[in-house]
Structure 1
Amino acid sequence: MADNTEALRSGPMGALLFRLSLPAALGMAVQASYSLVDAFFVGQGVGPAGITAVSMTFPLQMIIMAVAQAGGVGGASVISRSLGAGRRKRAEKTAGTVFFATWAAGLLLSVLWILLAPFLLRLIGTSGDILPLAEEYAAVLFLGAPFFAFSITANNFVRAEGNASFAMMTMIISAGINTLLDPLFILGFGWGVRGAAWATVISQGATALWLGWYYLAGRSLVAFRWKHFRFRASILAECISVGAAAFARQGAASLSLLAVNLALVSTGGDDAVAAYGIVNRVLLFAVMPVFGIVQGLLPVVGFNYGAKQHCRVVSALRISIGASTVLCAAGAVLFLTVPEEITGLFTSSPAVTALGTDAARMLALGMPLTGFQIMASGLFQAIGKARPSFALSLLRQVIFLIPLVTVLAPVFGTAGVWASFPAADLSAGLVTWLLYRKEMRRLRQSCGSGAEDSPAETGER
Structure 2
Amino acid sequence: MKVHQTDFSKGNVYRNILEVSIPMTLAQLLNLLYNVVDRMYIGRIPGAGATALTGVGICFPVITMITAFTYLFGNGGSPLCAMELGRGNHEEAEKLMGNTFSMLLISSIILMAVSYLFYKPILYAFGASDVTFPYAGDYITIYLIGTPFVMISLGLNPFINCQGFGNMGMLTVLIGAVLNIILDPIFIFGLHMGVRGAALATIISQICSGIWVLRFLTGKKVTLRLNRLAMVIEWARVKEIMALGISGFMMQFTNGLVQIFCNSTLHIYGGDIYVGVMTVLNSVRDIATMMVHGLTNGASPVMSFNYGEKAFGKVKQAIKFVTVVCFSYALFVWGIIKIMPEFFIKLFNNDPTLLEKGVPALHIYFFGFCFMALQFTGQAVFVALGKAKRATFFSIFRKVIIVVPLTVLLPRVGGLGVDGVFWAEPISNLIGGCACFFTMLATILPELKEK
Are 1:14 and 2:29 counterparts?
no
Give the Cα separation in 1 of the matches to 2:213 and 2:433: 36
Identical residues among aligned pairs (%): 27
8 A Cα contact 1:333 1:364, kept in partner: no
Are 1:433 and 2:437 counterparts?
yes
For 1:459, the equivalent position in structure 2 comes to none
For 2:107, the equivalent position in structure 1 comes to 105
TM-score between the two structures when normalised by the length of structure 2 = 0.96
User: What aligned pairs does 1:373-384 form with structure 2 within 5 A after superposition?
Assistant: 373-384=375-386
User: What aligned pairs does 1:213-292 form with structure 2 within 5 A after superposition?
Assistant: 213-292=215-294
8 A Cα contact 1:366 1:421, kept in partner: no
Deviations 1:197-234 (A, max 9, x none): 10111010000011111012233211111122222101
Deviations 1:47-81 (A, max 9, x none): 11111111101101111110111100010011011
Aligned in 2, Cα 1:383/1:56: closer, same or farther, shift over 3 Å?
same
Give the Cα separation in 1 of the matches to 2:254 and 2:221: 35
Aligned in 2, Cα 1:267/1:2: closer, same or farther, shift over 3 Å?
closer
Give the Cα separation in 2 of the matches to 1:230 and 1:350: 56
Deviations 1:364-400 (A, max 9, x none): 2131112221111111101111100001212222221
Shift of 1:2: 12
Give the Cα separation in 2 of the matches to 1:49 and 1:2: 45
8 A Cα contact 1:66 1:251, kept in partner: yes
Give the Cα separation in 2 of the matches to 1:97 and 1:34: 27
SS in 2 for 1:442: helix
Give the Cα separation in 2 of the matches to 1:72 and 1:91: 13
8 A Cα contact 2:5 2:166, kept in partner: no
SS in 2 for 1:220: coil
Are 1:40 and 2:44 counterparts?
no
- Residue 15 of structure 1 aligns with an amino acid whose one-letter code is R
1:416 equivalent among 403, 408, 420: 420
Give the Cα separation in 1 of the matches to 2:427 and 2:103: 38
- Residue 103 of structure 1 aligns with an amino acid whose one-letter code is L
Give the Cα separation in 2 of the matches to 1:366 and 1:234: 42
For 1:95, the equivalent position in structure 2 comes to 97
Shift of 1:243: 0.2
8 A Cα contact 1:33 1:285, kept in partner: no
User: What aligned pairs does 1:385-396 form with structure 2 within 5 A after superposition?
Assistant: 385-396=387-398
Point out where structure 2 has 5 or more consecutive residues left out of the alignment: none
Shift of 1:429: 2.0
SS in 2 for 1:371: helix
8 A Cα contact 1:245 1:390, kept in partner: yes
SS in 1 for 2:44: helix
TM-score between the two structures when normalised by the length of structure 1 = 0.94
Shift of 1:350: 1.4
For 2:23, the equivalent position in structure 1 comes to 23
Give the Cα separation in 1 of the matches to 2:406 and 2:92: 44
Give the Cα separation in 2 of the matches to 1:359 and 1:2: 45
- Residue 425 of structure 2 aligns with an amino acid whose one-letter code is F
Are 1:302 and 2:304 counterparts?
yes
8 A Cα contact 2:3 2:167, kept in partner: no
Shift of 1:359: 1.9
8 A Cα contact 2:316 2:445, kept in partner: no
8 A Cα contact 1:340 1:354, kept in partner: no
Deviations 1:14-52 (A, max 9, x none): 211111111111110111122221111001114111111
Shift of 1:3: 8.4
Give the Cα separation in 2 of the matches to 1:433 and 1:213: 38
- Residue 43 of structure 2 aligns with an amino acid whose one-letter code is G
Would you say how many aligned residue pairs link Structure 1 and Structure 2?
446
RMSD: 1.6
Are 1:325 and 2:327 counterparts?
yes
User: What aligned pairs does 1:113-124 form with structure 2 within 5 A after superposition?
Assistant: 113-124=115-126
For 2:338, the equivalent position in structure 1 comes to 336
Are 1:166 and 2:149 counterparts?
no
Shift of 1:420: 1.3
Are 1:72 and 2:74 counterparts?
yes
Give the Cα separation in 2 of the matches to 1:162 and 1:372: 26
Give the Cα separation in 1 of the matches to 2:197 and 2:304: 41
Aligned in 2, Cα 1:444/1:112: closer, same or farther, shift over 3 Å?
closer
Give the Cα separation in 2 of the matches to 1:3 and 1:33: 25
8 A Cα contact 2:219 2:225, kept in partner: no
8 A Cα contact 1:314 1:444, kept in partner: yes
